[in-house]
Amino acid sequence: MDKKPSHARTVIAYIVLIILTFLCLFFFYILLINCTRSHQQIQHGFSFLPGSSFVKNFNNVIHDAKLPVLSGIKNSLIVSACCAALATYFSTLTAYGLYAYNFKLKKPAFIFIMLILVMPTQVSAMGFINVITKMGMINTLYPLILPSVAAPAVFYFMYSYMQSSLPLELIEAARIDGCNEFKTFNRIVLPIMKPAIAVQAIFAFVQNWNNYFIPALVLQENSKRTLPILIAMLRSADFLKFDMGKVYMLITIAIVPIIIVYIALSRYIVAGVALGGVKE
Amino acid sequence: MSKKKISAEREVSYAKWGYIFIAPFFIAFLIFQFVPLAQTIYYSFFEYYRSGLTVIGPNPVGLDNYKALLESDFLKYAGNTVILWLAGFIPQIIISLLLAAWFTDVRLRIKGKQFFKVVIYMPNLIMASAFAMLFFALFSNNGPVNATLVSLGILEHPFRFLSSVAGTRGLVAMMNFLMWFGNTTILLMAAVMGINPALFEAAELDGCSPRQTFFRITLPMIRPILVYVLITSMIGGLQMFDVPQILTNGKGSPDRTVTTLIMFLNNHLYSKNYGMAGAVSVVLFIICAILCLLVYFNLNPTESDRKIKKRDKLKPRKEALNG
Amino acid sequence: MKKTWKAIMSFALIAAMIFGLSACGGKKTDDGAAAEGEAGKVLNIWCWNDEFQTRFNDYYPEVKEVAEDGSTTTLNDGTVVNWIIEPNADNNYQNKLDEALLNQESADADSKVDMFLVEADYARKYTNSESTMNIADLPGVLDATSDQYEYTKEVVSDAEGNVKGVSWQACPGLIAYRRSIAKEVLGSDDPETVQAALADWDKFAETAQKMKDAGYFMLSGYDDTFRPFYNNDAAPFVEDGKTLNIDKNIMDWVAMTKDYTDKGFNNKTSLWSDDWNADQGKDSKVFCIPACTWEIDFTLTGNADPDGTKDPAQSAWGDYAVCLGPVNWCWGGTWLTAAAGTDNADLIADIMIKMTTDKDILNKIATEKGDFVNSKSVISDLAANYEGNDFLGGQNHYALLSDAAAGLSLKIASPYDQGVIEKMQAAMKDYFDGNADLDTAKANFETSIKEIYPEIETVNWPE
């Protein structure tokens, strides 16, 4: 009785998954194809077959003294890793503060964070630049990293996750065992939140890795710029140097580190981490 | 009632920890975000823009910006935004729920499950602008999509995707779907994995079908995360910007049918028109806030419900503690 | 599992530490740069790509050495030229330049903007402001520019007629056409015969009909003919700061393009799109493309010969020729301007004179970089001695353009051109595509103009 319906389900699942996988990987395929083609070939139209300009494009990117690819990767890594760490840790902390404790301003604080979450931020970009200029942080990486401490969307996810997966009994138990509140958070709550933290860490990392608008406003020196700014610079290159092959090559180079980080962190998603703490 | 009183007394001593734990968030917010956000609201009551390099204002104009907003095509752009969002979100949530259910169903044996789980998020790794470059190439008049459709005899002439309303909206929805369905699936998967496995084991022992397990156990258990997904993608949808902006080169064409609210806002930033842009932000903020609070308080188990339930469970321990 | 988790956390920690270190490192280099600044002068030049920077490093005689990463150039007298290159995407260049110019007074001497580059479509935004210097106030510059094409001065003049910028290049427009199609349809690929067939817009339409009958498109898309029409407008778009006047020429362009679209004379593409690029290739059915000098090198050559074969059998190499077409026009170019408040006026004057008026240098730029340089005498020398362009089937296009460039005028430049042109092309595309009628397209244009230029109160249409 069990076997037959699940067989049909399996077939449907395979079909859907294969279509989706094709759609997802197809874009990587053309990205790779395009970074092996010359500028003119790319401009001329589309191709499913690789060209012969891979080495040329690669050398053009790596040997362009005005295009600090390595420091770009380093800056992007620093910003993205710090943002991911700060956003997840402090959002979990904030969510825990609001979830596990009762205090007078609890509800107003929660509603306040939710309101920040829904506020469109486009307009405040210029005000943000003014603020950090006054603080002397312009052209440094700090203003790209430190604001991550207040990440309302990550907070809200952590809070929702706690609602479904963090029983308050557990905290009580820890208190009985004599843990102080910080210890309880770091030793008991954080491990339970691992899957949620891994997920949000990936999201935060990717989002910051691909961020262009604010970093372009904040960073001025070439040596401090992140990868998306370098890509934008290549795309506004003057006409004698404008080279789509080079652009695609840099896009591809920019994707490699993030894929590595993603695959490393994705173990938490893939393996299905069973929750250590919750056993009733 | 009396139960509540007792527990409130007990929790008093812990209240300061609540403040301590949420302090970093609020400090960071106050330092970096508060002034710009307050300015956004403040300037919405002013005439304040640039004509070339000349700064005009800020001159207080009361509600003029809001009046101008009412007279503009604001509702049309709101409609565009909702259409674009739903066209991407509905397939996204269906596929994501389906995938999350499959991926977490121990009875469904799919070879390479791990591989599929990793792959679905990959499109999100590509920068939106790079993604759009690929879309342009694929869906251009002489591009491979048209070539395939024509050679299969489905189309007689190449379809000019980005010159048709449905085509452009479809591409925006498709790109949003591809970029974000993996993200949603992962969130839902994380939520399902947070469910106590004993529940699933019990369901299996009781002979529940996969469908029953999904609707009776999985869905109710992940409700907070589901609400989270709904709210965040509603906010993301109402504030949709980068995909339609890049795909239409910032024009929102054809006939401004792909102009979203934030694209409308962004047009005002060309001349640093903080007055009008501020007004659009505030109105959008109010709409979002109302919608989100509605969704949140309607779909989520209310705070007090949850507390009482939990406290019932905690009762024996607490008594032991007090005693 | 636990190990990976630890690994990730420690990775994050290490990253945080690197960040801490490198942030300190960053501070140090800042101080270092400031110390250097005290030793010699610093000249800050703002631009959006390295086009001018390359020419400067290659041809400015005072260049002593160029930093390895290209970020600075040291001159013989110890002055450090600091290149501030901001990408154009999302209007980023103008956004940051505007902030810098508005804060110019409070900036310290070594971080003031000294020189910045502008393009034709928004040059007047800066030259009409107080932020740019009159070149008459820069020693010797105005006198040195007598050999430059008039229109390059008109673009960067302010309302009173003061010239406020200089350029090393001119960008006259022409019409590039396919020799093979001309032979087949018009009986000859000789530029004079073709010019006769394209001499005015009526003849242009007749030829378009012939092309259509023979199975070809006259043009690739909608925007190709915009510049030839717009350049011949009678007045600037905006003169009083609040009324936008649309010239009859623009509506002629709209009417002609709609007509051509309905009759199938064009391939319905938009400027810079993939399809537009493809329309310049060997297999394309498009007869001609209005192009200006830089487009020949920038787009046409690459699109006609994507694999770089230079082989007429495999590509459209050698199958193009150029003629002047119905009207004189121009498109684009880069101007150097001196920022008000600079403390390096003498040096800027010398750079302007050497880079945009020195005949030896301009001759080198023309022959080595292929620019159509901004000097009547250098171009007429070239016109007399040039051996012909292989890509154009051996044609000497300098001879053709030498006179045309001298007759160009762009008095109608206004600070609003960039926005008006962009929004006009976007709004009318809906009309051409059949997604909107003309009135809707006009209304959409007015809406988008008032969004980006709040000071515009009325838009006047001709008739």
B158: left (phi over 0), alpha (psi -120 to 50) or beta: beta
* Positions in chain A whose pLDDT score sits under 70: 1-6, 237-241, 269-280
Q: Count the Cβ atoms, other than its own, within 10 Å of residue A26.
A: 14
What does the pLDDT look like over C150-159, one tens digit per residue?
889 999 998 8
Are B35 and A131 a contacting pair at CB < 8 A?
Answer: yes
Q: In what helix (H) or strand (E) does residue C45 lie, and over which residues does it extend?
A: strand C42-47
Are A101 and B32 a contacting pair at CB < 8 A?
Answer: no
The answer to whether the Cα torsion of B103, B104, B110, B114 is positive or negative is positive
C-alpha distances (whole Å) from A87 to each of A90, B20, C80, C94 are: 6, 17, 41, 32
Amino acid at site A141: L
In terms of domains, do C199 and C257 share one? yes
How many whole angstroms separate alpha carbon C337 and alpha carbon C331?
19
pLDDT band at C219; cut points 50, 70, 90: very high
Structural domains in chain B, CATH included, are: 7-41 (no CATH), 72-322 (1.10.3720.10)
pLDDT at residue C431, as a whole number: 94
- Cis omega (within 30 of 0) for bond into C87: no
Of the candidates A222, A186, A203, the residue with the CA atom closest to the CA atom of residue A262: A203
What's the domain range around C454?
A: 173-329+416-460
Nearest Cα residue in chain A from B195: A165
In terms of domains, do C289 and C433 share one? yes
Cβ-Cβ contacts under 8 Å, B52 against chain C: 125-126, 128-129, 415
In terms of domains, do C193 and C270 share one? yes
pLDDT at residue A241, as a whole number: 63
Out of A40, A81, A271, closest to residue C306 by CB: A40
Q: Count the Cβ atoms, other than its own, within 10 Å of residue B294.
A: 11
CATH of the domain at C444: 3.40.190.10
pLDDT at residue C28, as a whole number: 36
* Chains contacting B (3 or more CB pairs within 8 Å): A, C
Count contacts between B and C (CB, < 8 Å): 82
Q: Does C6 fall in a domain?
A: no
Q: Does C19 fall in a domain?
A: no
How many whole angstroms separate alpha carbon C16 and alpha carbon A117?
26
Out of C91, C129, C275, closest to residue B140 by CB: C275
- Look at A56 and C25; give whichever has higher pLDDT: A56
pLDDT band at C21; cut points 50, 70, 90: very low
* CB-count exposure of residue B121 (10 Å: 0-12, 13-18, 19+): buried
Are A213 and C68 a contacting pair at CB < 8 A?
Answer: no
Per-domain residue ranges for chain A? 3-53, 62-270
- Look at C18 and C77; give whichever has higher pLDDT: C77
Query: Is C414 in contact with C159 (CB distance < 8 Å)?
Result: no
In terms of domains, do C197 and C309 share one? yes
Q: Is the pLDDT of residue C32 over 80?
A: no
What does the pLDDT look like over C109-144, one tens digit per residue?
888 999 999 998 899 999 988 899 999 898 888 888
Q: Hey, is the C-beta of C98 within 8 angstroms of any chain B C-beta?
A: yes
Q: Is the pLDDT of residue C22 over 50?
A: no
pLDDT at residue B320, as a whole number: 38
* Positions in chain B whose pLDDT score sits under 50: 1-12, 304-323
How many whole angstroms separate alpha carbon C302 and alpha carbon A90?
52
Strand C173-178 vs strand C320-323: parallel, antiparallel, or unpaired? antiparallel
Q: In what helix (H) or strand (E) does residue A127 lie, and over which residues does it extend?
A: helix A124-134
Cβ-Cβ contacts under 8 Å, C100 against chain A: none
Q: Does C189 fall in a domain?
A: yes
What does the pLDDT look like over B9-37, one tens digit per residue?
444 467 888 899 999 999 999 999 888 88
Out of A2, A153, A163, closest to residue B232 by CB: A153
pLDDT at residue C445, as a whole number: 94
The answer to whether the Cα torsion of C338, C342, C345, C350 is positive or negative is negative
Q: Does C252 fall in a domain?
A: yes
Q: Does C399 fall in a domain?
A: no
Q: E strands of chain B, at which residues?
A: 46-51, 54-60
In terms of domains, do C161 and C181 share one? no
In terms of domains, do C427 and C279 share one? yes
In terms of domains, do C274 and C320 share one? yes
Out of A40, A45, A85, closest to residue C305 by CB: A40
Q: Is the pLDDT of residue C310 over 50?
A: yes
In terms of domains, do C317 and C344 share one? no
* CB-count exposure of residue B68 (10 Å: 0-12, 13-18, 19+): middle
- Angle between helices B74-104 and A3-34 in degrees, nearest 10: 120
Question: Which residues partner with C338 through β-bridges?
Answer: C115
**What CATH number does the domain located at A62-270 have?**
1.10.3720.10
Residues 182-211 of B with CB under 8 A from A: 182-183, 186-187, 189-191, 193-198, 209-210
pLDDT mean over C434-463:
91
Numbers of helices and strands, H then E, in chain B: 17, 2
Residues 17-76 of C with CB under 8 A from A: 18-19, 22-23, 26, 29, 48-51, 68-71
pLDDT at residue A238, as a whole number: 60
In terms of domains, do C100 and C52 share one? yes
Are C19 and A82 a contacting pair at CB < 8 A?
Answer: yes
pLDDT at residue A5, as a whole number: 52
Cβ-Cβ contacts under 8 Å, B280 against chain A: 120
Are B110 and A143 a contacting pair at CB < 8 A?
Answer: no
In terms of domains, do C290 and C353 share one? no
pLDDT mean over C342-358:
91
pTM assigned to the model = 0.85
* Token pair listed for B208: 């529940």
What does the pLDDT look like over C227-277, one tens digit per residue?
999 988 888 999 888 899 999 999 999 999 999 999 999 999 888 888 888
Q: Count the Cβ atoms, other than its own, within 10 Å of residue C130.
A: 13
In terms of domains, do C243 and C112 share one? no
Mean of per-residue pLDDT scores for chain C:
86
Q: Is the pLDDT of residue C192 over 60?
A: yes
Q: E strands of C156-305, at which residues?
A: 173-178, 219-221, 243-245, 266-269, 288-292
Q: Is the pLDDT of residue C212 over 60?
A: yes
Count contacts between A and B (CB, < 8 Å): 313
Q: Does C431 fall in a domain?
A: yes
Query: Is C328 in contact with C321 (CB distance < 8 Å)?
Result: no
pLDDT at residue B301, as a whole number: 60
Q: Hey, is the C-beta of A270 within 8 angstroms of any chain B C-beta?
A: yes
What is the length of chain A? Answer: 280
The answer to whether the Cα torsion of C68, C74, C78, C84 is positive or negative is negative
Are A41 and C307 a contacting pair at CB < 8 A?
Answer: yes
% of chain C beyond a pLDDT of 90: 45
- Cis omega (within 30 of 0) for bond into B254: yes
Q: Is the pLDDT of residue C301 over 50?
A: yes
What does the pLDDT look like over B133-147, one tens digit per residue?
888 888 888 888 888
Q: How many domains does chain C divide into?
A: 2
Residues 119-158 of C with CB under 8 A from B: 125-126, 128-131
C81: left (phi over 0), alpha (psi -120 to 50) or beta: beta
Query: Is B77 in contact with C451 (CB distance < 8 Å)?
Result: no
In terms of domains, do C92 and C57 share one? yes
The mean-pLDDT minimum among B74-88, C369-383, C429-443 falls in C369-383
What does the pLDDT look like over C75-102, one tens digit per residue?
998 899 999 988 877 788 898 899 889 8
Query: Is C140 in contact with C436 (CB distance < 8 Å)?
Result: no
Question: What is the greatest pairwise CA distance in chain A?
Answer: 72
pLDDT at residue B259, as a whole number: 92
